[in-house]
Amino acid sequence: MPQHFDAVVIGTGQGGSPLAVRLGKSGRKTAVIERGAFGGTCVNVGCTPTKSYVASARAAHVARHAGEYGVHVAGPVTVDLAQVKARKDRIIGESRNGVEKWLRGAENVTVFNGHARFTGPHSLSISGSDGQIVDELQADEIFINTGTRAVVPPLDGIDRIRYYTNSTLLELTELPEHLVIVGGSYIALEFAQVFRRFGSRVTVLVRGERVLAREDADLANNVQKVLAREGIEFRFGGEPQRVEPLAGDGVRVVLEGSGAAVEASHLLFATGRRPNTDDLGLATAGLETDRHGMIPVDGELRTKVPGVWAIGDVNGRGAFTHTSYDDYQIVAANLFDGGSRTADTRIMTYAVFVDPPLARVGLSETEVRASGRDALIATMPMTRVGRARERGETDGFMKVLVDAQTKQIIGAAILGIEGDEALHTFIDIMTAGAPYPTLQYAMHIHPTISELVPTLLDGLKPLKPVK
């Protein structure tokens, strides 16, 4: 007979794990199902490992430029990728083991290892690695938190070459001689800078005419300029048509149109991610996905099937660790605290963790112009920021957009040193719904990056049409 639970959480990512613990604390008999490593994408192949690599890459970059600060490093700076990986693995292991220990020790929580599939709206089977069903569960409440995986384009010859995704590239112990990256967005650029700073030659193949196609052109072009200065090569408008093997596991990428080719020792695909929803038996539960494989939800993250929620990357409401955690907070507030929170009013924010980072919240300048609203804008180069000059890192600029009628900040971006931290001054004011003078007249600590935010707001001017 199937075991009955009050609640089941499928997946132990940034939303699923704390939700399972909170469900148990509420008195619900809770099951949590994990088919792989505990902690989800962020802990195992996303934020945690990649940011540890970003840290190692920055250490190498700073060491190479130490002479500019009067600090002399004897001999050339080299990177031991095996040691970088070992450090990353230690950090991952601590986080992964911590999540598993937390869940297994949580009150009213039972952990199951295996792959979950719906057998009805409120029933699930759990299969082992051999595909055999090992458990069957029933639950009044089910929360889907199964995350995403890397997309590999179905190119001609793909089955004849060795290639990498963001997950498998992290397993290398020797530096690529020449890394070619297909893609021009966040993951592609972060890996490009990391491996260039490690010492690899790096070429980025971008389908369009510029990197970061979703960002304002001024921000994207500045990011590209910084990366190109570090020696990263860019090829634009060249969609890969086919791939061919070379001796020694190398690869040739042939581009559409011109037929030009790029040869590399290693090939990374950073061409997007696909939700893990295609093997959940969703149709059996009466659930459907959109054309991207996402599970549609309302503002409270409920699916169309009563008693079933979808949280995290699978619901199309934001594919970031912080949006996944906020999904948990929305569900928890509404289920346990009598709240009425909704993702419909959430202000989107994120960062691209190149160095310097690009952080953004709310609407872009492009989006504000498209809306036709009456707006104000201000920009400021990082060369005006004392902290940036003192650190010798003045790349980038700040930008803010304000609704001229309500005086509320509707968008902001910082490309620059510590911009990912400084942006929170905007995030908090926007979340509070306070007018921009609240921030403009705040006294900030000197010398910091954030102290120039009020000065930035002093320079607000009407957003004029582009000529």
CA-to-CA dists, residue 216 to 212, 213, 358, 413, angstroms: 8, 8, 11, 10
**C-alpha of 152 from chain center:** 18
Residue 413 annotated as binding site: no
In angstroms, the CA 3 to CA 33 distance is: 13
Please give the backbone phi and psi of residue 375, each rounded to the nearest 5 degrees, phi first: -135, 160
Number of Cβ atoms within 10 Å of the Cβ of 467: 3
Residues 19 and 106 sit within 8 Å (Cβ to Cβ):
no
Residue 168 DSSP class: G
Residue 187 annotated as binding site: yes
CA-to-CA dists, residue 98 to 4, 14, 38, 171, 313, angstroms: 27, 13, 9, 22, 22
Residue 53 annotated as binding site: no
In angstroms, the CA 143 to CA 331 distance is: 10
Residue 189 annotated as binding site: yes
Residue 51 annotated as binding site: yes
In angstroms, the CA 320 to CA 266 distance is: 27
Q: How far separated are the first and last CA of the chain, in Å rounded?
A: 71
H or E element, residue 412:
strand 409-415
Residue 130 annotated as binding site: no
Residue 272 annotated as binding site: yes
- Find, among 165, 167, 171, 163, the residue nearest to 84 by Cα: 171
H or E element, residue 400:
strand 397-403
Residue 186 annotated as binding site: yes
Q: Is the dihedral of CA 66, 67, 72, 74 positive or negative?
A: positive
Residue 70 annotated as binding site: no
Residue 183 annotated as binding site: yes
Catalytic residue among 4, 65, 115, 446: 446
Torsion of CA 131, 137, 138, 142, to 10 degrees: -70
Note if 446 is an active site residue. Answer: yes
Let me know how long the chain is.
Answer: 467
Amino acid at 407: K
CA-to-CA dists, residue 161 to 149, 242, 247, 253, angstroms: 20, 11, 10, 10
Amino acid at 195: F
- Find, among 19, 3, 4, 5, the residue nearest to 102 by Cα: 19
CA angle at residue 426 from 423 to 428, to 5 degrees? 110
Residue 313 annotated as binding site: yes
| Annotation: binding site for FAD | 51, 313
Residues labelled as active-site residues = 446
| Annotation: binding site | 51, 183-190, 272, 313
| Annotation: binding site for NAD(+) | 183-190, 272
